């Protein structure tokens, strides 16, 4: 049976599923319920400085987008860091860690960008027995206007500086949580590494307006006729998170830095994908906020099952395995030729593949053959783009199959050897090089 236990920068947990710093981890009550349900660890809801806590809006703080059947696909929030008193939080962290010694309890922090406040809070956290700290440089709203959160996370120099202070003032592992609201995610990750951070975690939420109220003409969630951008998370952000994680994992400057993957993890499969891209743990917020803590049981069972099937005894056995396969477009094999193939037994004849290809791609799928409604790929036209696969409502009904020999579309033989754009005759860079020679 697969062993899911993890040791992430010295922080041990029975499984890689942590709850991200967010409402599910704001109180001892919630966190203990999460542990009872099986979560391996939590990152406690971000703590601020001592003194009067921040206040949240008293109107709606979430917006959302939905898929069919109102399945929640993306959540947006304008919540701030914890609005509870620092002392109460610290007491509860201490009690929780004491009650659950085998689970990971990491504390998220966000204080003004000066050495003293960081030093002070780190000392207080250390007293609780927590396993580590996560520096919240990501919150895109409310805190950034106060010079914290993503206001720091968007300036690599600040990240490095704060990471250095933290490493200097605590023995606890320091994880830097990155904001995705930046052009090149590698820059803040490099800064975190230079600052001595033990790990990075990403992504925090993405600047977003989920919808506009067309009666009041205000963004949602609307508070007294106004709205402000919030932070976007949930299934919709997973592709962005995976891409950012992969950038860090394969960047020579940061390769090998421990990563806690966050963003849209909803099922065991999502988690396995983050792990395959190098993450040592994953963090979850929206899935728990949508379905409650019990979802972790599906994640644990699913991951175990996958690992057993593949014969992976531990997370380390497959962690990072996808990283070498993430490459730049120019290195993709242009001699890999595929054609769509429709499984006629599975096809329910909805016609979506046809109209997608007909109207917006390459006119490569029939809709009528000999007067009968029939959907079939015309190999002479198919460029192998995969659009039909993506719009077909039946899973595995259309598959992309590699072909060899002559490509019926170009009528040219397919070179069985790998060749990419860097050597392609149409590449201007190749002409330039040839001219120079």
Residues that bind another protein (CB under 8 A): 68-70, 348-352, 354-355, 367, 373, 393-394
Cα 352–chain centre separation: 30
Q: Is 139 a catalytic residue?
A: yes
**Segment interacting with ligand FMN (CB under 6 A) among 34-42, 249-257, 284-292, 417-425:** 284-292
**Segment interacting with ligand SF4 (CB under 6 A) among 144-152, 251-259, 285-293, 343-351:** 343-351
Q: Which does 69 bind (CB under 5 to 8 A by kind): ligand SF4, ligand FMN, another protein, none?
A: another protein
136 in contact with ligand FMN (CB under 6 A): yes
Interacting residues with ligand SF4 between 371 and 390 (CB under 6 A): 375, 377, 382-388
Q: Which of 226, 170, 240, 230 has its CA nearest to residue 198?
A: 170
Q: Which of 139, 166, 357, 392 is catalytic?
A: 139
Report which DSSP code applies to 370.
Answer: T
User: What six digits make up the tokens of 104?
Assistant: 């990971």
Cα 277 from Cα 258, distance rounded (Å)? 11
**Cβ closer to ligand SF4: 115 or 381?**
381
The two beta strands, 259-262 and 279-284, are parallel
Q: Which does 267 bind (CB under 5 to 8 A by kind): ligand FMN, another protein, ligand SF4, none?
A: none
User: What six digits make up the tokens of 419?
Assistant: 């060749």
Q: Which does 23 bind (CB under 5 to 8 A by kind): ligand FMN, another protein, ligand SF4, none?
A: ligand FMN
Q: Which of 187, 132, 114 has its CA nearest to residue 18?
A: 132
Question: CA dist 118 to 56, 99, 114, 224, 270, Å?
Answer: 23, 27, 7, 36, 34
User: What six digits make up the tokens of 226?
Assistant: 């106004």
CB-CB neighbours of 52 under 10 Å: 10
CB-CB neighbours of 349 under 10 Å: 11
Q: Which does 86 bind (CB under 5 to 8 A by kind): another protein, ligand SF4, ligand FMN, none?
A: none
The runs of H, that is alpha helices, within 25-64 are 28-37
**Segment interacting with ligand SF4 (CB under 6 A) among 80-88, 128-136, 362-370, 412-420:** 362-370
Q: Which does 367 bind (CB under 5 to 8 A by kind): another protein, ligand SF4, ligand FMN, none?
A: another protein
- Would you name the residues annotated as active-site residues? 139
Residues that bind ligand FMN (CB under 6 A): 20-23, 45-46, 75, 77, 79, 81, 108, 136, 138-139, 177, 204-205, 233-234, 237, 262-265, 284-287
């Amino acid at each position: 049976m697969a062993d899911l236990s993890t040791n992430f920068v010295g922080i041990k947990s029975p499984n890689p599923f942590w709850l991200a710093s967010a409402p599910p981890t704001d109180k001892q009550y919630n966190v203990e319920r999460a542990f009872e349900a099986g979560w391996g660890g939590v990152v406690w809801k971000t703590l601020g400085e001592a003194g009067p806590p921040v206040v949240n809006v008293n109107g709606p703080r979430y917006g959302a987008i939905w898929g069919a059947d109102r399945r929640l696909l993306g959540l947006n929030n304008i919540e701030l860091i914890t609005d509870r008193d620092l002392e109460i939080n610290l007491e509860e962290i201490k009690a929780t860690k004491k009650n659950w010694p085998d689970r990971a309890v990491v504390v998220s922090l966000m204080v003004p960008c000066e050495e003293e406040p960081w030093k002070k809070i780190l000392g207080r956290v250390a007293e609780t027995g927590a396993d580590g700290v996560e520096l919240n440089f990501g919150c895109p709203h409310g805190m950034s206007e106060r010079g914290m959160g993503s206001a720091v996370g968007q300036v690599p120099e600040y990240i490095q500086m704060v990471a250095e202070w933290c490493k200097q003032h605590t023995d606890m592992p320091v994880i830097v949580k990155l904001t995705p609201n930046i052009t090149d995610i590698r820059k803040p990750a490099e800064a975190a590494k230079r600052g001595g951070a033990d790990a990075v975690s990403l992504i925090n939420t993405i600047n977003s307006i989920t919808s506009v109220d067309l009666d009041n003409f205000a963004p949602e969630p609307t508070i007294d006729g106004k709205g402000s951008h919030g932070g976007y998370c949930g299934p919709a952000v997973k592709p962005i998170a995976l891409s950012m994680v992969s950038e860090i994992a394969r960047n020579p400057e940061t390769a090998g830095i421990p990563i806690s993957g966050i963003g849209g993890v909803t099922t065991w499969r999502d988690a396995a994908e983050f792990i395959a891209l190098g993450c040592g743990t994953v963090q979850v917020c929206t899935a728990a906020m949508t379905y409650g803590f019990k979802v972790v049981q599906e994640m644990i069972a699913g991951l175990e099952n996958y690992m057993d099937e593949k014969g992976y005894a531990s997370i380390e056995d497959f962690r990072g395995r996808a990283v070498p396969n993430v490459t730049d477009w120019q290195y993709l094999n242009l001699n890999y030729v595929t054609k769509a193939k429709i499984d006629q037994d599975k096809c329910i004849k909805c016609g979506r593949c046809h109209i997608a290809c007909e109207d917006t791609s390459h006119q490569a799928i029939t809709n009528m053959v000999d007067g009968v409604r029939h959907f079939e790929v015309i190999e002479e036209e198919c460029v192998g783009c995969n659009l039909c696969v993506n719009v077909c409502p039946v899973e595995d009904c259309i598959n992309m199959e590699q072909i060899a020999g002559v490509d019926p579309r170009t009528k040219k033989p397919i070179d069985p050897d790998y060749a990419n754009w860097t050597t392609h005759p149409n590449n201007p860079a190749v002409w330039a090089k040839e001219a120079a020679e």
